[in-house]
């Protein structure tokens, strides 16, 4: 029960097929032909941008090839609005993209590798290593550090595929999908230590039609976090741990924030995580909402908060003390969730006093603590009958 689930074996054949198809059908542009050096020391940022400009000048599918080796990159921005190629651009990565070891080089920017307004982009294989350990040490110590940079950010784009990619040691978020339509993330592997701050695995916000499947995520924050404006999201076949679980939120910081709806989270194993499935909102006035959400077929292995709705989020009692969350939570289903809780309370529904939760369904949920049934704690929501109230 405690063994970590792996989903990569079927994907390997898929990646081999995709790489072979790209080689046959697409024009290939090797970054080394533009001056990139696979020595892990030479700044190859300009070479990658030159390769991008070359494929953008085409009017047919093209592939940027990153061969084996380590390629050092500073912050790079791939502009889609300046790219005339809408027929499909593929980054086929066999090697490792390496950030500078000095966290100040990229740590003051929002993203290390950023794509903006791209169409029909695929990123296949490879490793992104942001070398974030020195920044984590700074954040966990004396302070005065930069906020840190997201490793891979996709902004305002359409039809994006990220397959077989490994992201490790991110300074901040590993992968950010924002303002994007129709993105597919499959076979992603994300790793950072449990004590690395703010290293969310995948964050989705203001996006629709995103799927995240067959992936292994272990990090210091949420394995997957779901921000405002996210609709029609599917998360399926995920191994999460360490980390803070899969979270909708935090939501409701601003009064006119967009809502979250039509989210399905299926077939997930949580191992030793702080939370399992969670909805988290600020205790502040807001017109936002969370509705039509399904959490289905989840296995909990020694999870501190297997099922939690927290509408009283107000760290350090700053900017929201004694307030009530305005986020309306409705139509939430927890179904077929089993395993072990690391705390006595396995189901915690702490809903807003001004806008109580409605339409909460708990079906076939069996959680134990120290060999006995776990408890439920509920405020402004009906406790599941299958649990005794804490």
Is the previous residue joined to 109 through a cis bond, with omega within 30 degrees of 0? Answer: no
Q: Which residue's structure tokens are 């809408």?
A: 86
Residue 321 burial class via C-beta count within 10 angstroms: exposed 0-12, middle 13-18, buried 19 and up: exposed
Active-site residue flag, 316: no
241/35 Cα distance (integer angstroms): 39
Q: Which two tokens stand for residue 91?
A: 């980054």
Q: Which two tokens stand for residue 52?
A: 């991008």
Given the residues 174, 200, 203, 221, select the one marked as catalytic: 221
387/368 Cα distance (integer angstroms): 11
CA-wise closest residue to 288 among 352, 374, 233: 352
Q: Which residue's structure tokens are 């924050």?
A: 221
H helix runs in the chain, sequence order:
9-25, 45-56, 133-139
69/264 Cα distance (integer angstroms): 38
Given the residues 174, 203, 244, 304, select the one marked as catalytic: 244
Strand, helix or coil for residue 49: helix
31/92 Cα distance (integer angstroms): 11
175-to-8, 172, 289, 310 alpha-carbon distances in Å: 19, 9, 24, 25
Active-site residue flag, 221: yes
What does the radius of gyration of the chain's CA atoms come to, in whole angstroms? 21
DSSP one-letter string for 110-126? SEEEEEES-EEEEEES-
What backbone torsions phi and psi does residue 194 show, to the nearest 5 degrees? -60, -30
Length of the chain, in residues: 390
366/346 Cα distance (integer angstroms): 9
Looking from the CA of 142 toward its CB, the CA atoms found within 13 Å total 3
Q: Give the active site residues.
A: 221, 244
């Amino acid at each position: 029960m405690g063994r970590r689930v792996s989903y990569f074996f079927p994907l390997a054949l898929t990646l081999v097929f995709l790489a072979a198809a790209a080689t046959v059908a697409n024009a290939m542009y090797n970054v080394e032909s533009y001056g990139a050096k696979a020595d892990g020391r030479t700044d190859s940022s300009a070479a990658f941008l030159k390769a991008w400009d070359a494929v953008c000048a085409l009017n047919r599918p093209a592939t940027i090839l990153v061969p084996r080796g380590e390629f050092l990159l500073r912050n790079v921005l791939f502009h889609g609005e300046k790219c005339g190629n809408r027929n499909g651009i593929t980054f086929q990565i066999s090697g490792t993209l390496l950030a500078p070891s000095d966290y100040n080089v990229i740590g003051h920017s929002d993203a290390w590798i950023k794509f903006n307004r791209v169409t029909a982009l695929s990123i296949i294989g490879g490793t992104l290593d942001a070398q974030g350990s020195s920044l984590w040490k700074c954040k966990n110590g004396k302070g005065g550090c930069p906020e840190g940079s997201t490793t891979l950010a996709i902004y305002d784009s359409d039809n994006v595929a990220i397959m077989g990619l490994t992201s490790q040691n991110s300074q901040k978020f590993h992968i950010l999908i924002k303002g994007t339509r129709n993105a597919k993330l499959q076979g992603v592997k994300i790793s950072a230590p449990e004590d690395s701050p703010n290293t969310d695995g995948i964050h989705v916000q203001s996006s629709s039609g995103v799927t995240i499947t067959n992936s292994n995520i272990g990090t210091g924050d949420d394995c997957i976090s779901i921000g405002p404006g996210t609709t029609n999201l599917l998360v399926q076949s995920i191994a999460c741990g360490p980390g803070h679980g899969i979270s909708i939120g935090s939501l409701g910081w601003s009064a006119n924030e967009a809502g979250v709806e039509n989210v399905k989270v299926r077939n997930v194993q949580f191992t030793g995580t702080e939370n399992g499935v969670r909805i988290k909102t600020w205790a502040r006035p807001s017109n936002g909402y969370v509705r039509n959400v399904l959490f289905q077929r989840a296995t909990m292995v020694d999870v501190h908060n297997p099922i939690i709705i927290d509408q009283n989020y107000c760290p350090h009692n700053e900017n929201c003390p004694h307030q009530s969350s305005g986020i309306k939570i409705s139509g939430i289903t927890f179904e077929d969730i089993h395993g072990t809780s690391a705390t006595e309370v396995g189901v915690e529904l702490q809903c807003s006093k001004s806008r109580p939760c409605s339409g909460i369904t708990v079906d076939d949920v069996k959680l134990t603590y120290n060999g006995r049934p776990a408890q439920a704690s509920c405020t402004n929501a009906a406790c599941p009958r299958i649990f005794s109230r804490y």
